[in-house]
Structure 1
Amino acid sequence: MSWLFGWGKSSGSPPVEEPAAPADGAGGASGGAGGDKPGDKWSNFDPTGLERAAKAARELDKSRHAKEALGLARMQEQSVQLELQSKVKEYEVGLEQLKGEQIQLQGEERRKTLAEETKQNQARAQYQDKLARQRYDDQLRQQQFLNEENLRKQEDSVMKQEAMRKATIEHEMELRHKNDLLRVEAEAKARAQVERENADLIREQIRLKAAEHRQTVLESINISRTGAVFGEGFRAFVSDWDKLTATVAGLTLLAAGVYSSRNATAVAGRYIESRLGKPSLVRETSRLTVAEAIKHPIKVKLQSRPQDALEGVVLSAALEERVRDIAIATRNTRQNRGLYRNILMYGPPGTGKTLFAKKLALHSGMDYAIMTGGDVAPMGRDGVTAMHKVFDWASTSGRGLLLFVDEADAFLRKRATEKISEDLRATLNAFLYRTGEQSNKFMLVLASNQPEQFDWAINDRIDEIVNFALPGLEERERLVRLYFDKFVLGPATTGRQRLKLAQFDYGQKCSDIANQAEGMSGREISKLGVAWQVSRKSCLFKI
């Protein structure tokens, strides 16, 4: 193959290079060694292979298929290179797979390590918890031992004190007995001495007593004679049937009159109490009573005028929209004589629950009554009767009554989990019985700071739940401005004794106070306004 040696297609045999002649004396030296020493590197070279290759190249050049053989050789070379590249790619893919497997093995090892660490941490935590429990149990046993020791010492001390007290009492009784004996002996001696000295007087007293006894016996004899006379008259009365019948009928009519008048008086009293009186559980009401009608008739007429439900009440925008819808619905229910919906208002104290309940009643044209849950428990057995009186009184209202129960969780607690008395349980059952169905006579509004303590049956009575949260920044600023105008600017600009206010930006000062009053309720902010009015330094409004 001539192309292997860089020959062209020139005619003729390629020149065959003869091996160079060795240097002078070299061949003789090598040959003269007689084969004892090895020759140079060309000494064992066989040129027949080159001759065969040269001959094959000449024959290939002379052949007409030289180009095809050359192309075929090139294609074979390319195929060999492609095979090598594919093997390289396969090797690289194998390397990538090995890397992936190595990463997977590392991840498995890491997961196993994390699982083992987690297991060890859990075992360590359990062991620490076990140690803590053991320490706590040891502390409890030690505390119990100390308590028992203290109790034993106290019992010993009490027994010693009791023994000392008993010995003291016995000694005192012994001394008292001796003194009594001495006193009795002295009195007997004195009495004997007095009797000996007053023997004449004693005889005179005995004579007088005998005379009085004789006079008493004579008088009793005379009285017995008079009794005999009365006995004869009674026999005559009993023997006369007409007189006896008339007397029995008169006495019967008299007893019937007394009994009827007493029952009629009781019924009239209960009616007056249910209509015009006020139950003992109700602390405040706008309903007309006899005393209020007599004392303040004009005031009662003015209070009956409907008012805006949110007048003077500062709430957030969302809550204001919610309670306004409730006020409108309640007023429509009152006008249409429908069934009222019961409401639960919960939230921190001082957020306007009681104020809104009053405004809701006045806006709807209803009467309101306020009672406190803390007043129910102290009533004991009378709680059931008082609760029925409240609802009987509420049912007699002609305009409808809004019954507001403040701190309702005080007696409406869970019956299953809470340890409540039997009297309070009976009162709660009476409340549930009277509120089992919706009424067109009264509307129930409950207020609580902890609604989660209600009994499960109370939730079935509630139709609307409203959360009165603490005021936000905008509401606090409105409240500060409201109470600043009411307690500071009002007295400063009206009345005889006006306050002198410093010149500064009141609006900015109210905004600053609202920022500082974060977490305060409306009641606390109102107390802050009262403090401004009371304090003389408030005229400068330094907060």
Structure 2
Amino acid sequence: MSWLLGRFNQTGEGPSPPGAAGPPGDGGGAKTPGNGDRKGGNDKNTEKGKKWTGFDPTGLERAAKAARELDHSLHATEALEMARLQEQTEQLKHQEKIKEYEAAIKQMEADKARIEHEERRKTLAAETEQHQKRAQYQDQLARRRYDDQLRPTRLTQEENLKKQEESVQKQEQMRRSTIEYEANLRHKNEMLRLEAELKGKAKIERENRDLNLEKIRVKAAENRVTVLESVKTAGAIIGDGVSNFITNWDKMTATAAGITLIAIGVYAARTGTAVAGRFIEARLGKPSLVRETSRLSLLQSLRHPLQAFGRLFTKPSDPLQGIIFNPRLEERVRSLAKATINTKHNGGVYRNVLMYGPPGTGKTMFAKSLAR
């Protein structure tokens, strides 16, 4: 705007407000009654004056004055640059607001799409549920129709089955009755047969009673004679044997010696078996820890020469190798191992060691390593 105002000032033609009086001359000034030849021009001016009636040119005058002062000022360029920068700042602010509005619009569109998607999902779920309910209802109706169709057939089958069961029960009852009748008839026949047999035997026994009694008497007499003869013969044999044994001292001595030897043999067998069992148990039942850590005797060296030869040429290793103790306890145990090794080298007398503690603390491992 200042540039425009400056251009007008340089040309000497400033914008004159409408309705203002022009310069004096032939056409200037107000129309007089005698100026009839300028009636048309005066009418136009009158119309323009009517249009611009009430316009205040003070603002434009102040703007023109400020523009002239700004053009004559030394800082006009800086002011123009400052105005341009302010205009750019305002434009940037407007652009940021536009971007914010666009982001808000995009967010609203995303929310709208999400809400529409959620609504479609709910609608689809509701439709699916309605379809399932409809399908279930139709299935129930189909089942009911099928049951209604099968009900007469089922009733007919049940009646036929009931009739068959009644028929089977009647046949079974008739069969049982027949079997009972046959059993009773057979029992009666058996009783009649037994009765006839018993009567026949009784009649025969009554007729042969005297003959049977005579047979029993003869048989009893023969048995009595046989028993008496057997007793007499056995007594005679036993008496002769006892008398001969008592009168023969050689037989008595041999018999006593034989009985004594038999008793001694039985006792020796029992004692020897017990001793042998204890010996075998002591040899075979020795724990592996004792067998591994005991000294090798001469007999064991002969039996196991490789083991004895290996022990002679085996260097003693660290007794605590592979065993983890508390540092304080390890120091005490190591001193005990060193004392034992020194005693062995010096041929001293070993002493007993008592180790106690809960299971799993390494007592057996240390004792086994120390014994080796």
Higher helix proportion (structure 1 or 2): 2
Query: What TM-score, normalized to structure 1?
Result: 0.28
More strand by share: 1
Structure 2 length-normalised TM: 0.39
Larger Rg: 2
